[in-house]
Structure 1
């Protein structure tokens, strides 16, 4: 027999319930697709069909995909009954706060400057050949 505490632990977590705020309506699906392509701030995250119509969920593109995400989301609802599409938004757009705490990956700025200096001076660093000196 399992106790009540164990049952609560095994319970499946649900996703975040978002409050979607109606923002705009497009006259046809092509206008909504064109609007989304012109906005570089939004990137498609998920697409699925419901009884109301097709939904496209977009995330903020100003933060990296891996790591902490901006709370802002966008939903385009393509109605099944007519050709009109509705635009909804949710959350506050805060990519600046997220980008402050993100650890940068890649080369350090000092190393990049050193590489640029070597390239300007046309100095090529030769990599050691593995195998010639080590095998005997």
Structure 2
């Protein structure tokens, strides 16, 4: 049976991930950045991007609805890891992309934050991959 502290941590992490999904759906980049640690990273398309590149990455991505499921989280003191399922629905076409995020979390003075988030897409073939390498390029590269 989970202790109150464990339950509080799990609820806080779930709310953190809900904030990620809502802010990215609404295009609130400033709000989105608050869910990460300052040294946070996002991995997809064969690369890992520092938080400073995240606004450009989001700007280049299709817009739509990020539907996320309840994450499976493993707590270990002031750190944790987890996996969260995702279904993205494009706002213009209603085409969907499905997959999941593999995450690491850390407890900070401001509460739990994402340290790393890595995207895995699930293809129609059943393959699981991180996307086409170099599908995203930073401006000026």
Normalised TM-score (structure 1): 0.31
- Higher-Rg structure is 1
Q: Which has the higher strand share?
A: 2
